[in-house]
A and B are shown apart, each in its own frame.
Chain A
């Protein structure tokens, strides 16, 4: 009872078991395929859901990052209060929004505020060459591009000197330049708003947020979104004054807004949230009604990250459930297989198979089944995001660990759900198994 009784799990035995497993599964090709399909879809859904979720949150985060994570953006908003309407009747001029006073106070009291970009907007028709477009003149400062992370496409931005000199120079956004001067280089040309003329010195890329939204609704770029002409804020004051009059389709509107948009940059990224709180307090003290809007990209970013986590948990649970269902499918079929092959089990036991040999044989079969399902699932799971990107134009990101983990889980499920049928097979009484019809 020595040499032949000592058997070890050698590579040769493993190889034979795998070949035997494939043969047994191949006997029932359709059944094996359908069983593996549960795992295929489970794995594919894990990978593609993670890829789509990751892509969506990446896109959102990218848009927020474009705003500048160290920035706090303040905008003037026309209040929707009923008392304002009454005041408007009396004074005829609607006065609201951010003031120069707010800015001086912010600069004086909030620690670490390095720069503020004041901005004012005038909405009117812009004329250039033979074309005109409903656009916006934006009064701003010379360091606008670096704070807003926006690059120049042509020419240059206006300089601090030109701000001081109140020069009539302007920088156009890409889409405005395309509308006004579709065929020639806009640099050196002139653009008119109302009665003032400005010389184009450069073209700047579109606001990424606007560019993304206008891409969704193609052709809507003519509504004025993103049609911006940037001029020094001092020049704007000179040409258009403090009060803005608008005559539009028979109605008359007068608005007085000192600053439409202000961006505060905080030097220390950790201080962004406290600074936002300080600015909030200043604005609350200065304004009796909420005629401003504060956007903190960092806060948005954090919220986006939290949303992404929740999103991932939800997607992960859905995918896990589908894998679980696949695993139960495998167990179900394996139990049926064990019953069906009772006689084979009896024969093998009579011919010298130990219980662990039978366990191993059936376990190998489930692992092959779920492993093959896993491989197909990985292939499908890598294909689906590519299709989504191609047909729906969504960004999808496949992280290298996603297919690895999904495949690993599928094999683990194969083992877990294979254990019970395998032990049931091995625990059969050989005498009864042999007698089984």
Chain B
């Protein structure tokens, strides 16, 4: 088990001169709501560097979800460019987008989103399955990750047999299984009590310390004190983007 130590602002260990892992150039996203054109994102320019640990904050309706969907390659921008590891995602087909999601991204959701009929270890294996990783190898990776998040003794449990905090740890292990370039967490602690939530955040801190790039989308102001870089969205635009330390 990981300790949930006192909350302490993590130090940014980002190499500012490195090539960005994510680069958004004048990204806009438009929706039609009935007869009205709604601009959810209005010209976002953003660079995320390898090893970044970012909170994206903002009130509801500010475009957070749209931002997450575009960063997560679940949706494509209406205008602008999105480069993920130098690859222009806006130009990709549906199949290639799936491949990018499975290969370069890890998702952690507010409601865990585990697959109910699968056990802990099988849930962790899902991204590997779609990557075509062989059975034995993927089982090995999954067990190792389950141990890492402290669920080594619950490999064969079903999600319904686990607490919320444990389920979220399975989700973290699943997000790590394909060794992604970026991990996206959407209100990851929103459904948890403060103790389990603290455990989860501690895992994130540790992952960042290992060099993982994490993007947390949240409306919880407490998060802003935890991550070295904070981005605030306001009405579909970036209102504030800074490294608190360093």
Give the B-binding residues of A (Cβ under 8 A): 1, 4-8, 10, 12-13, 16, 20, 23-24, 26-27, 343-344, 346-357, 430-431, 434
- 8 A-B pairs besides A4-B99, A4-B103, A27-B116 with CB distance below 8 A are A5-B96, A348-B126, A351-B174, A354-B94, A355-B98, A357-B98, A430-B74, A431-B74
Verify B118–A353 contact, CB threshold 8 A: no
Q: List 19 A-B contacts (CB under 8 A).
A: A1-B87, A4-B99, A7-B132, A16-B129, A20-B117, A23-B118, A346-B113, A347-B114, A348-B126, A349-B74, A350-B101, A351-B101, A351-B126, A351-B174, A352-B131, A354-B95, A354-B98, A431-B74, A434-B113
Asked whether, in the complex, the Cβ of B102 is within 8 Å of the Cβ of A352, the reply is yes
- From A5, A8, A16, A23, B117 is in contact (CB under 8 Å) with A23
Contacting residue for A351 out of B94, B130, B134, CB 8 A? B130
A353 touches B113 (CB 8 A): no
Does A355 contact B94, Cβ atoms closer than 8 Å? Answer: yes
> Does A349 lie within 8 Å of B129, measured CB to CB?
no
Q: Which of B103-120 contact A (CB under 8 A)?
A: 103, 107, 109, 113-118
Chain B minimum-CB-distance residue to A349: B98
Known: A1-B87, A12-B135, A351-B107. A344 touches B98 (CB 8 A): no
> Closest CB of chain B to A203's CB: distance in Å?
73
A434 with B74: CB separation less than 8 A: yes
B120 to chain A, nearest CB (A): 14
B interface residues, how many (CB within 8 angstroms): 31
Task: Please give, as numbers and ranges, the residues of chain B lying within 8 Å of A355 by CB-CB distance.
Answer: 94-95, 98
Instruction: From known contacts A23-B117, A353-B130, A357-B130, infer whether A431 and B75 are also in contact, taking CB-CB under 8 Å.
Output: yes
B72: interface (CB < 8 Å):
yes
Asked if A343 contacts B131 (CB within 8 A), the reply is no
List chain B residues, Cβ under 8 A from A347: 113-115, 126
- The yes or no answer to B178 lying at the interface (CB within 8 A) is yes
In the bound assembly, the distance between CA atoms of A353 and B178 in angstroms comes to 13
B78 within 8 A of A: no
For the complex formed, measure the closest distance between the CB of B94 and the CB atoms of chain A, giving whole angstroms.
6
Q: A27-B117, A347-B113, A434-B109 are in contact. Are A352 and B74 (CB under 8 A)?
A: no
Residues of B within 8 A of A23 (CB): 117-118
- Distance (Å) between the CB of B160 and the closest chain A CB? 11
What's the least CB distance linking B71 to chain A, in Å? 12
Question: Which of these, B75, B94, B101, contacts A352 with CB under 8 Å?
Answer: B101
B188 CB to nearest chain A CB (Å)? 14
Tell me how far the C-beta of B176 lies from the nearest C-beta in chain A, rounded to whole angstroms: 12
What is the CA–CA distance of A47 and B178 in the complex, to the nearest angstrom? 50
Q: What's the Cα separation between A44 and B197 when bound, in Å?
A: 56
The verdict on B127 contacting chain A, using a C-beta distance below 8 Å, is yes
Once A4-B132, A434-B113 are accepted as A-B contacts, the answer to whether A352 and B98 lie under 8 Å apart by CB is yes
A221–B117 Cα distance when bound, in Å, is 68
Q: Which residues of B contact A (CB under 8 A)?
A: 69, 72, 74-75, 87, 94-96, 98-99, 101-103, 107, 109, 113-118, 126-127, 129-132, 134-135, 174, 178
A344 contacts across to B, CB distance below 8 A: 115-116
Q: Could you say which residues of chain B place their CB within 8 Å of the CB of A6? A: 132
| Nearest CB of chain B from residue A185's CB, rounded to whole Å | 77
Residues of chain A within 8 A (CB-CB) of B129 are: 13, 16
Contact between chains at A12 and B134 (CB < 8 Å): yes
Q: How far is the CA of A13 from the CA of B135 in the complex (A)?
A: 9
Q: Which residues of A contact B107 (CB under 8 A)?
A: 350-351
Instruction: Report the Cα distance A8→B134, complex, angstroms.
Output: 12
Once the chains are docked, how many angstroms separate the CA of A403 from the CA of B141?
Answer: 45
CB of A345, distance to nearest CB on chain B (Å): 10
Chain A residues with CB below 8 A from B130, complex form: 7, 348, 351-354, 357
The smallest C-beta distance from B121 to any residue of chain A, in angstroms, reads: 13
Contact B113 A352 (CB under 8 A): no
CA distance A343 to B74 in the complex (A): 14
What 3 pairs between A and B have smallest CB-CB spacing? A352-B102, A352-B130, A7-B132
Closest CB in chain B relative to A348 CB, distance in Å: 7
A228 to chain B, nearest CB (A): 74
Kindly state the separation between the CA atoms of A343 and B117 in the bound complex, as whole angstroms.
13
Residues A5 and B99 in contact, CB atoms below 8 Å apart: yes
Are the CB atoms of A13 and B132 closer together than 8 Å?
yes
Q: Which residues of B contact A26 (CB under 8 A)?
A: 117
A38 to nearest B CB, angstroms? 23
| CA of A20 to CA of B116, assembled, Å | 12
How far is the CB of B203 from the nearest CB of chain A, in Å? Answer: 19
A3 to chain B, nearest CB (A): 9
Q: Considering the chains assembled together, what is the distance between the CA atoms of A16 and B127 in angstroms?
A: 13
**CA–CA, A351 to B75, complex, Å?**
14
Residues of chain B with a CB closer than 8 A to A27's CB: 116-117
Query: Cα distance A59–B118 when bound, in Å?
Result: 55
Note all chain A residues with C-beta closer than 8 A to B96.
1, 5
B101/A5 in contact, CB under 8 A: no
Q: Find chain B residues with CB under 8 A from A24 CB.
A: 117
Q: Which residues of A contact B103 (CB under 8 A)?
A: 4-5, 352
Tell whether, in the assembled complex, residue B117 and residue A352 are in contact, meaning their CB atoms are under 8 Å apart. Answer: no
* B98, closest chain A residue (CB): A354
- CB B184 to nearest CB in A, in angstroms, measures 9
* Chain B residues near A356 (CB-CB < 8 A): 95
Which residues of the partner chain B approach A8 to less than 8 Å between Cβ atoms? 132
* Interface-centre pick from B94, B95, B101, B117 (highest chain A CB count, 10 A): B117
Most buried by A among B75, B87, B130: B130
Contacts of B117 in A (CB 8 A): 20, 23-24, 26-27
**Alpha-carbon distance between A385 and B103 when the two chains are bound, in angstroms:** 56
Q: In this complex, what residue of A is CB-closest to B171?
A: A347
Instruction: Write out the residue numbers on chain B whose beta carbons fall within 8 Å of the beta carbon of A343.
Output: 113
In whole angstroms, how far apart are the Cα atoms of A357 and B131 in the complex?
11
Q: Which residue of B lies closest to A352 (CB)?
A: B102
How far, in whole Å, are A352 and B95 apart by their CA atoms in the complex? 9
Q: Which single residue of chain B is at the shortest CB-CB distance from A13?
A: B132
Chain A residues in 8 Å Cβ range of B99:
1, 4-5, 352, 354
Chain B residues near A12 (CB-CB < 8 A): 134-135
